[in-house]
Amino acid sequence: LLSSAPAALRALPPPPVAVGVLHATRQLHTTQQSLAPLPPLPEKGGEVRHGLIPEEFFQFLYPKTGVTGPYMLGTGLILYFLSKEIYVVNHETVAGACILAVIIYAVKRFGGDVAAFADKLNEEKMAKALAVKNEAMQSLQDAIEAEKKEQWRVEGRSYLFDAKRNNVAMLLETNYRERLMMVYNEVKKRLDYQVAMQNLKRQKEQEHMIDWVEKSVVQSITPQQQKESIAKCILDLKALSKGAHATV
Amino acid sequence: MAGRRAALKAVDWAAFAERVPPSQRPMFNALKTRSDALTARLAVLPEKPPTIDWAYYKANIAKAGMVDDFQKKFSALKVPEPVDTQSAKIDAQEQEAARSSAEYIQASKARIAQYEQQLQKFKNMIPFEQMTLDDLHEAFPETRLDKEKYPYWPHKPIADL
């Protein structure tokens, strides 16, 4: 009868677990190695009741003994140990109880603050690492941009050679034109010189001729002619003065 | 007269100036001033010199035949064009520049590929919150502690702490 009870009990369907569903745990690698990326580690550890007993224990006993099962088991066990003196109560017990009380009070009072402080330290470490990573990524982006810009600059090298060729062409053209101008100027200068020479010669000849004619005329005036001309002038003057006296 | 008047190609100085890197700006400015000076000099000179008025000189110069002689020699005169010595050098420079710029672009592309690769590595990294120490050493090999070289904690020279 006893041996058939577990079989009969096992045949019953398991009762639905409605109380306290556990958080999803990590899959253990039970089969051959899988190369898929592992899911991230959980943020918090397994749930624990009264700081000592894991929740799985309560869930394990729930189908058979319900919600109060583990508590009854615990109470029973403690009473058994005390009454049968498997655990002996002595001075250590009192000391242990006081220490336990202090510890529990301290954890309940300061636990949150200490945890927050530790979390802050970790956050700072993470933030620093993240900043480094972001900076590295940014500098890589900038480097890529700079390289692309340099490539674009290199494409413009044809401008340089166009400018150089233009300069050379301009120099040649300027030189040629200067030569033409020089030829023209030289020829013109020579022709103008000839013309100027002619004009100068003409002028000099004229002046010389005039001087010579004057000189010869002056020379040809003989003393006889001079006397006659002076007498005539005097007569003319007298006649003029008479006429002038008459008018005045 | 072929080759006398190689047409001047219009150089877009604005676009050229954009592409000059800042380290070479003085050279660019020198080139520009030189080009401008040459353009100015060219603009001053007329394309053809003014014609000589032979009739006036023939009428006014008494010496017989001199003007005709001049005229004949003048029209027969051919002014030699200046020889172009630099164009070949410029073409050679251009070839050289084409080659070196192709090399530079190759190297630049290789660098870009490298940077891209590193960037991808950074982008594909798992976030720091989910990393274990092993993952960190994988992603950043320089964080790995050399336990053979420094067998005692902290596994790196004290100066590096």
Q: What secondary structure does DSSP assign to A129-146, as a single string?
A: HHHHHHHHHHHHHHHHHH
Confidence band (pLDDT; 50, 70, 90) for B90?
A: confident
Please name the helix (run of DSSP H) or strand (run of DSSP E) that holds residue A85, with its range, or none: none
- With beta carbons under 8 A apart, name residues in chain B contacting A181: 45-46, 49
Best residue in A123, A137, A150, A165 to probe B by mutation, most B CBs within 10 Å? A165
Token couple for B28: 């660019």
CB atoms A166 and B18 under 8 Å: no
CB atoms A180 and B49 under 8 Å: yes
The packing angle between helices A91-155 and B87-124, to 10°, is: 160
Per-residue pLDDT reduced to its tens digit, B119-144: 999 998 888 888 888 888 988 888 88
d(CA A131, CA A139): 12
> In the prediction, which pLDDT does B6 show?
61
> In the prediction, which pLDDT does A108 show?
93
Mean pLDDT computed over every residue of chain A: 85
d(CA B158, CA A59): 51
Q: Tell me the three state secondary structure of residue B84.
A: coil
Per-residue pLDDT reduced to its tens digit, A13-66: 655 554 444 545 566 666 677 667 777 778 888 889 888 899 999 999 999 999
The packing angle between helices A69-83 and A55-65, to 10°, is: 100
C-beta separation of B13 from A144 below 8 A: no
Distance of residue A110 Cα from the nearest chain B Cα, in angstroms: 26
Spell out the domain ranges in chain B: 12-45, 94-124, 125-160
> What number of CA atoms fall less than 13 Å from residue A32's CA on the CB side?
0
d(CA B115, CA A144): 7
Average pLDDT of the residues in B90-107: 90
Average pLDDT of the residues in B7-29: 84
- With beta carbons under 8 A apart, name residues in chain A contacting B125: 133
Token couple for A136: 């590295």
Q: Which residues contact B49 (CB under 8 A, 6 or more apart)?
A: A180, A181, A183, A184
Confidence band (pLDDT; 50, 70, 90) for B89?
A: confident
Cα-flanking dihedrals φ and ψ of residue B2, to 5°?
Answer: -70, 150
Report the predicted TM-score, pTM, of the whole model to 2 decimal places: 0.59
d(CA B96, CA A206): 75
d(CA B107, CA B114): 11
